[in-house]
Chain A
Amino acid sequence: MISEKDRKEQLKAIKKENARRYREYNRNKNKKVAESTYLTEMKDDSNLLEIEDLHTCFYTDIGTVRAVDGVTFNIPKGKTVGVVGESGCGKSVTSLSVMRLLQEPQGQISFGSIRFNSKDGKPVDIAKASIKAMEKIRSREISMIFQEPMTTLNPVLTIGKQIDEVLELHTDLKKNERYQKVCDLISMVGISNADRIYKMYPHELSGGMRQRIVIAMSLACDPQLIIADEPTTALDVTIQAQILELMRDLKDKISASIMLITHDLGVVAEMADIVVVMYAGRIIELGTTRDIFKDPRHPYTIGLMKSRPNMIGEDEKLYSIPGNVPNPINLPNHCYFKNRCESCIGKCNNPYPGLVSISDTHKVACWRFIEEEAK
């Protein structure tokens, strides 16, 4: 336990350090970034996005929160990657980092690279790209679908105007061409009577319709990657089924990749080809959907599967993972799941385990498997 006085001193030092960081950020914000600094090479050309050792931090007045702490995974072309985890595990921050929509300067990518295979054949490192370069990538190459369709749409603009705005900014289409394209987009997401919807306001539509409009908007410039952050959480199950069906259809139609962020294991099992399980800012397990659901290895993944009441199960007690997610400030220097884990071994006191391969596609971060490998 530290004394009150020491704690105050500590907080003062943190504030000072943060102020220095913000000043530095503001100084560099408007500097020109040469193209050569952010052009890179892809490790594997069949990947659309390669995230490598990404660290995203939030500098708060009571300490640094490492929201994303060394995340590495790839999104292959034409595949759906599902990112699952509980609230606060860093899944949304990962997606915001890819879009560079973090609330800067408090939140910054402090280390790592995000390599994106852009349409014109010049791979870009998003983590280093300039603001200008990002404007070209957003919407044209990567677009995003947010959780709450009512807050995503502007309540005082008509639906048509909002979709039109995307096209106006990112394409050279003429006004009447754009109108035709907007109507095409609206009918593409399964809404009939596009002319009428064009003139409507968001409040006149139901939740499911609004989410369809948001999807139409994200598809406006034929992006290669669609990031969907909990796209169906705010919707009812029957509407959720419709939206998931629609996303599956459209993905094949425009041959894009999807990064699907959700906490619902059922949605992931249905949609994803590859699953990434996150816990407290790190990836704890990664593999194909079959790997994760048929052969989960990490105690957290197993616990998550067991704690879900399934529709076939009988009346026995529900399994629940004991304890809570650790405080994101001052995380311990061992496996973050150690205190909640039931299959702890002596080695768990060692520093945080890295990802070990179980098969070609399946990786897990747990000391129990590092042990096995050594034998």
Chain B
Amino acid sequence: MSEKEKTLELIDLKKYYPIKKGVLQKVVGHVKAVDGVSFHINKGETFGLVGESGCGKSTIGKTIIRLTPPTAGQALYKGTDIFSLDKKSLRTLRPHVQMIFQDPYSSLNPKMPVGEIIGEAVREHGIVSDKDYREYVMNIMKICGLRPYHIDRYPHEFSGGQRQRICIARSIALNPDLVIADEPVSALDVSIQAQIINLMKDIQQRNGISYLFISHDLSVVEYISDVVGVMYLGSLVELAPKKELFKHPAHPYTQALLSAVPVPDPDVKMNRVLLQGDIPSPVNPPSGCKFHTRCPYAKPICSEVTPEFKEHAPGHKCACHLYNDGSWV
């Protein structure tokens, strides 16, 4: 694993949002949206990030491209720390790291024709010469399954699936090495979802892009990812290659998450690990293991000591007191 080139490496990323109160806007506490997350993405691979809403997965995506400043930690893109770059060098980095957003209805400028949406950044960053510009945009559109005559149309003339194709075209037009896809298929219908996922996989094979695929839908993540990280309340609780994670989930939260997915087969009656209650507030996360309030196997130690994020098998990390060296205690 270690010989592979790392496109992105996060080291102990933290993002706290201050809570302000009163006339003087005194800081009375912090929402710990992301609390010490480390992982890396290899070249040409997809890292899937799953978790319930509010667990901080989208914040990680936003922090990496510096849409919001981090509190602490490093994000190394091919060895350079994104967080320490000044404005000018950040601009030269922009074409290499791109983002696809969840809602294709609000992420496209309604006043811009499609050709301009896709091509604006191409021109700004001087990816191709002016002479080849239109042809280049046409070619990108073709790759993404859009027709050449769509170039002068406006976003409202397209369906949800086509809009998401435009978003993908916009991000890959700059030949990025890393694309952060924040719930790219959640707003789409099942049959359209499949088209978009196939398109993303095709482009990955063609251009060798790495994806950070953020989603709450486990079956989609299982399909597209090489490595999967599971988040709970701002921290990773488990990280493993896809097959390992879905066959031998180690953390009780991962197990509960997997068993909660409804299976389209009336004969399968699953032994469901039903979690009690809701996700606790990230302002006052529970002490010790953050999951102990909902964990069906919680022991006294869980509420006192924070479990280490340890490697149990090659590439398989898990933060749980009850799981040791590949077996349950």
**B-binding residues in A (CB < 8 A):** 86-87, 206-209, 236-242, 244-245, 263-270, 289-290, 293-294, 303-305, 307-311, 313, 317-321, 324
Q: Size band of the B side of the interface?
A: 35 or more
Chain A contacts of B222 at CB under 8 A?
309, 311
A318 contact from B223, B261, B262, B275, Cβ within 8 A:
B223
Known: A236-B52, A237-B216, A311-B246. A305 touches B264 (CB 8 A): yes
Nearest residue in B to A190 (C-beta to C-beta)? Answer: B276
Q: How many cross-chain pairs have Cβ atoms below 8 Å apart between A and B?
A: 112
Contacts A209-B278, A308-B219, A311-B218 known; 17 new A-B pairs at CB < 8 A? A208-B278, A239-B52, A240-B260, A241-B260, A241-B262, A266-B261, A266-B262, A267-B262, A268-B264, A270-B263, A294-B267, A304-B190, A307-B194, A318-B198, A318-B223, A320-B194, A324-B161
Whole-angstrom distance between the Cβ of A278 and the nearest chain B Cβ: 13
Structural contact, B257 and A317, CB atoms closer than 8 A: no
**A-binding residues in B (CB < 8 A):** 52-53, 159, 161, 189-195, 197-198, 201, 216, 218-220, 222-223, 246, 256-267, 272, 274-275, 278-279
Give the complex CA separation of A307 and B223 in angstroms.
12
Structural contact, A266 and B263, CB atoms closer than 8 A: yes
Give the complex CA separation of A290 and B264 in angstroms.
11
Known: A238-B275, A240-B260, A313-B223. A307 touches B190 (CB 8 A): yes
Give the complex CA separation of A184 and B220 in angstroms.
40
Give the complex CA separation of A86 and B193 in angstroms.
11
Whole-angstrom distance between the Cβ of A343 and the nearest chain B Cβ: 16
Nearest residue in B to A265 (C-beta to C-beta)? Answer: B264
Chain A contacts of B258 at CB under 8 A?
311
Give the complex CA separation of A206 and B256 in angstroms.
19
Nearest residue in B to A209 (C-beta to C-beta)? Answer: B278
Structural contact, B266 and A237, CB atoms closer than 8 A: no
Chain B contacts of A307 at CB under 8 A?
190-191, 193-194
Chain A contacts of B161 at CB under 8 A?
324
User: Interface on chain A toward B: helix, strand, loop, or mixed SS?
Assistant: helix
Structural contact, A264 and B260, CB atoms closer than 8 A: no
Chain A contacts of B267 at CB under 8 A?
290, 294
Nearest residue in B to A290 (C-beta to C-beta)? Answer: B266
Give the complex CA separation of A317 and B197 in angstroms.
9
Whole-angstrom distance between the Cβ of A92 and the nearest chain B Cβ: 14
Chain B contacts of A241 at CB under 8 A?
259-260, 262, 272, 274-275
Whole-angstrom distance between the Cβ of B197 and the nearest chain A Cβ: 6
Structural contact, B197 and A318, CB atoms closer than 8 A: yes
Chain B contacts of A240 at CB under 8 A?
260, 262
Give the complex CA separation of A269 and B263 in angstroms.
7
Nearest residue in B to A310 (C-beta to C-beta)? Answer: B219
Known: A241-B274, A304-B190, A324-B159. A309 touches B262 (CB 8 A): no
Whole-angstrom distance between the Cβ of A167 and the nearest chain B Cβ: 27
Structural contact, B197 and A309, CB atoms closer than 8 A: yes
Residue in B260, B263, B266, B279 whose Cβ sees the most chain A Cβ within 10 Å: B266
Whole-angstrom distance between the Cβ of B230 and the nearest chain A Cβ: 12
Nearest residue in A to B202 (C-beta to C-beta)? Answer: A317
Chain A contacts of B264 at CB under 8 A?
265-266, 268-269, 293, 305, 308, 310
Chain A contacts of B192 at CB under 8 A?
86, 320, 324
Chain A contacts of B279 at CB under 8 A?
206, 236
The 7 closest A-B pairs by CB, nearest first: A266-B262, A309-B223, A320-B194, A307-B194, A265-B264, A241-B260, A236-B52
Structural contact, A237 and B52, CB atoms closer than 8 A: yes
Give the complex CA separation of A334 and B74 in angstroms.
59
A/B interface sample: 23 pairs, CB < 8 A: A86-B192, A206-B279, A209-B278, A236-B53, A238-B52, A238-B260, A265-B264, A266-B263, A267-B262, A269-B263, A269-B264, A294-B267, A307-B193, A308-B190, A308-B194, A309-B197, A311-B218, A311-B222, A311-B263, A313-B223, A317-B198, A318-B223, A321-B194
